[in-house]
Amino acid sequence: MTLWVFGYASLLWNPGFEVAEACQGRLAGYARSFCMYSIHHRGTEEKPGLVLALDEDAGAHCDGMALRAAPGTEETALAYLRERELVSSAYLEKTLAVQLRDGREVQAVSYVIDPDHVQYCHLPLEEQAQLIASAHGGRGPNTEYLYNTAAHLDELGVPDADLHWLTARVRALEENK
């Protein structure tokens, strides 16, 4: 079995499994969005942070990376991803068509937000910045997640105006602590 995984946020810089091939790709029908409260990895139940999720939007697309697990590691990689991504059931695991930059289309495991889950949110950018600037969870500060994701998207040549605004605003909030 071949296992492709669509990375659009922390999987870009911390896949957590052995990657045999990585190709830029586009997932149609979803937008990258800070629309999920993080109560485990980048925040707590008492002081939630925010993480990015794929939010279904028929007119949108999300650019990221399609990551192919090394042959022979597919089951281990999928078990790892399920433990990491499905920790609170806010994500739904779906296999979706990803158009690769080289013209191929692959079916990739993708973690999308459940819009009916309690962790789903839509907040103004300023409120997002305030949460990200102050939250810390089991995998570290929420700021680290934002900065690493924004930097890796920039390296890929994938502009994200909201992430650029948030990065600048969160840095300003940190300087004014």
Q: Where are the domains of the chain?
A: 4-175
In this prediction the pTM is 0.92
pLDDT tens, residue by residue, 118-167: 999 999 999 999 999 999 998 899 999 999 999 999 999 998 999 999 99
Amino acid at 37: Y
| Helix (H) or strand (E) run with residue 68 in it | strand 49-69
CB 44 within 8 A of CB 13: no
Alpha-carbon distance 90 to 2, whole Å?
26
Q: Which of 85, 105, 174, 175 is catalytic?
A: 85
Q: Are 109 and 3 in contact (CB under 8 A)?
A: yes
Chain Cα centroid distance, residue 78: 16
Would the pLDDT of 177 be above 80? no
Say whether 83 is catalytic: no
Tokens 């925040």 locate to 43
Q: How far apart are CA 84 and CA 78, in angstroms?
A: 10
Spatial neighbors of 144 by CB under 8 A, at least 6 apart, are: none
Q: Which residues pair with 23 in a beta bridge?
A: 66
Q: What's the Cα-to-Cα distance from 8 to each of 54, 94, 171, rounded to whole Å?
A: 8, 14, 22
CATH code assigned to 4-175: 3.10.490.10
DSSP state of 8: S
pLDDT of residue 1: 85
Convert the pLDDT of each residue in 49-83 to its tens digit.
999 999 999 999 999 999 999 999 999 999 999 99
